[in-house]
Structure 1
């Protein structure tokens, strides 16, 4: 139990340090891209955590949460990290003048790496539950409700962006370059996914309690 407690604390500290590297540290330190290091550390922490969970008896994992809830919580964490990372680097996109700007390219590569890692983790989770029933009527009902969170977030975001672009004087839209607008649209999609994952996790949590 002591080993498990200290292992969990170590993983938590590692994840917090990775998030600090991603969101609050200098862009580079001693010539090293801190964002890339943080992304690698966060992905590694997630892999180690998943490996630790996979070593537990399946009954113990199922008692803690259903497959759908595990998927929702992990998706929420990954999407929240991706959204926060994009927001923390918004000044880089505003300053960029060409599509192949090296600074924005670094941010995009880190985001793509994070989303690819999440896709792989989803596949691993699916194999973990391949012999169990992972979806029933309750899961489908929760998925339908949570999808409403995502749709509402995307619609509200699009209406807000359209209102700002349509109603603001032209001299106040110097920031709205093609690159910024393109990344705003991507941000809207990421925010929609985050809300859907969060809604799914909340509905599972409420149902379990």
Structure 2
């Protein structure tokens, strides 16, 4: 039976062994040729789809990638840059437009889903020479500071007054069987999806209330 050998490891040898082990664990495995070559179909753009819709009273006929959002269609294809891209996740409301009388976060919906729809952006509500009453009220009551969220706020506010007029309840409506009241609580609840990072909420509320009472 062989006698056990006396193996002595000094500090230098131990250090080199540790460095070698660390380097070997950090070298990434080389991908195979099959994994590194993507299918040719994945590299090609999607086929374009024809989309027709009425935007601000004008019939638009476009050829779009089916992945194009309504927001990008408005901004990139129709040059309607009044609608803003804020969070691009449907959380800030800056991209709000009115589609078939309903307010929509245009960053969350695809353009091809609105074939034949009627879309109204802030440009379609009024012009600099003839402002929509809501636009004029926002100016009068200073319902903005930086102005980035303002187009979405105005489109949402116009749709909110229409919702109340049609008797559509909200979470703040006390009696679901009656027409909602034009109250501060009701307006705050309905406008809660539109974020103003400048904090002009009190002025926005005053503007909407004035237009609502006038209507």
TM range (shorter): under 0.3
TM-score normalized by the length of structure 1: 0.24
Larger RCO (CA under 8 A, 6+ residues apart): 1
More helix by share: 1
- The structure with the larger Rg is 2
More strand by share: 2
